[in-house]
């Protein structure tokens, strides 16, 4: 029997493969081949590319803000969405006549997601032993841990380089005239420096924050104009990344709520990678000074424009007297 395709995935297919020209409803056999995919815009690859990245760059802080505000479709990190996975989800939704679908890595994960989505805090779940044993075990036992192995053979070497680069960058930032403050436990100026020396003798990690002169605007401009450093929310990568939390991850919050959480308008978060430290510093140094100049020019220009407007208004009043 032919699967029922009434209203099945029409919008999904139309939105992602062809322009809508008529009321024609694609058949199941067509949807299973085309639904949910457009050729890759960069390479025009007809097959579905495998995006093995775990995080995605932002075009700008404004672009990131639109993504975090759910004002624009796009990817942030693979844990929340991936273009390869999205094709599978859209295609399944089209074939099933649904609005959307969520793909997970296993049947166990599918059962777990359904369970946590439907069961509220303190509620009971009635499960029968006639379930597939793997699914039943989720209700009977808690998994002791979720683990993974990723490049563990070189872990100590990478962590050593991360720590070396981060303390070097932190020391350089503290001496930079365009930087207001630096927060990194490996610095003697940090309030928890002694604790870090005691508990983290091999290095205080690869993430630091600093404040750039010029406030939120300067912070956005800084991360938007890096050349080597990526503008994305990832951390712990071999590549150095940076972001402006005030305008991206914490954008939906009220200004005072952000400040209460320690998120300052001028704050830039950097996850320091394993590139040569000179290249990391060069990327920041090259942009930081330009950002301050842009900010000063903008402020001076705004003041000049305001003064000109006031003078015109006074001239008008004098002429009317």
pLDDT tens string 85-131: 888 888 888 888 888 888 887 777 887 888 778 877 777 777 666 56
Of residues 208, 206, 278, 276, the one with CA closest to residue 237 = 206
- Separation of alpha carbons 118 and 146, rounded Å: 22
Domain ranges of the chain: 10-103, 113-147, 152-298
How many CB atoms are located within 10 Å of the residue 146 CB?
5
DSSP string, 29-44: HHHHHHTT----TTT-
**Distance in angstroms (rounded) separating the CA atoms of residues 35 and 28:** 10
User: pLDDT tens track of the chain, all 321 residues?
Assistant: 444 444 444 444 444 444 445 577 777 877 777 787 777 777 777 777 777 877 888 888 888 888 888 888 888 877 777 888 888 888 888 888 888 888 887 777 887 888 778 877 777 777 666 565 556 666 665 433 333 344 655 778 888 999 999 999 999 999 998 999 999 999 999 999 999 999 999 899 999 999 999 888 889 889 888 888 988 887 888 889 999 999 888 888 888 888 888 899 999 999 999 999 999 999 898 876 654 443 433 333 444 444 445 455 555 544 555
Structure tokens at 39: 């050729």
Burial code (b: 16+ CB inside 10 Å, e: under 16) for 45-83 equals: eeebeeeeeebbebebbebbbbbbeeeeeebbebeebbb
| Fold adopted by 10-103 | 3.40.640
- Looking at residue 153, its pLDDT comes to 59
Measured CA to CA, the distance from residue 37 to residue 20 in angstroms comes to 15
Q: Look at residue 269 and give its three-state secondary structure.
A: strand
The CA distance from 230 to 242, in Å, is 6
Token output for 136? 């039943």
Domain boundaries 152-298, corresponding CATH code: 3.90.1150.10
Q: Which helix (H) or strand (E) holds 140?
A: helix 133-140
The whole-angstrom distance between residue 133's C-alpha and the CA centroid of its chain comes to: 37
- Helix/strand/coil for 136: helix
Are the beta carbons of 239 and 230 closer than 8 angstroms? yes
Beta bridge pairs of residue 181: 211
């Amino acid at each position: 029997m032919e699967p029922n395709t009434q209203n099945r995935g029409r919008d999904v297919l139309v939105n992602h493969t062809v322009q809508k020209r008529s009321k024609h409803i694609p058949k199941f056999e067509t949807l299973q081949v085309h639904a949910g995919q457009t050729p890759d815009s960069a390479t025009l690859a007809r097959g579905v590319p495998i995006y093995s990245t775990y995080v995605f760059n932002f075009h700008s802080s404004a672009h990131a803000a639109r993504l975090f505000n759910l004002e624009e479709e796009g990817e942030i990190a693979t844990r929340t969405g991936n273009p390869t996975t999205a094709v599978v989800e859209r295609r399944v939704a089209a074939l099933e006549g649904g609005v959307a679908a969520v793909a997970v890595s296993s049947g166990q994960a599918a059962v777990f997601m359904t369970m946590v989505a439907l069961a509220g805090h303190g509620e009971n779940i009635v499960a029968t032993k006639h379930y597939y044993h793997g699914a039943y075990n989720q209700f009977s036992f808690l998994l002791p841990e979720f683990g993974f192995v990723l490049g563990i053979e070189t872990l100590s070497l990478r962590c050593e380089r991360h720590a070396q680069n981060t303390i070097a960058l932190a020391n350089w930032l503290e001496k930079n005239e365009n930087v207001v403050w630096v927060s990194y436990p490996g610095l003697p100026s940090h309030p928890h420096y002694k604790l870090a020396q005691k508990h983290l003798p091999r290095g205080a990690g690869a993430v630091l924050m600093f404040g750039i002169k010029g406030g939120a605007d300067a912070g956005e401009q800084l991360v938007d104009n890096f050349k080597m450093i990526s503008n994305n929310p990832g951390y712990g990568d071999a590549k150095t990344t940076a972001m402006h939390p005030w305008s991206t991850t914490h954008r939906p919050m009220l200004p005072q709520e952000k400040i209460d959480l320690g998120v300052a308008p001028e704050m830039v978060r950097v996850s320091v990678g394993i590139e040569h430290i000179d290249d990391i510093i060069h990327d920041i140094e090259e942009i930081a000074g330009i950002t301050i100049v842009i900010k000063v020019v903008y402020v001076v220009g705004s003041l000049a424009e305001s003064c000109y407007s006031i003078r015109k208004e006074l001239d008008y009043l004098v002429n009317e007297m």
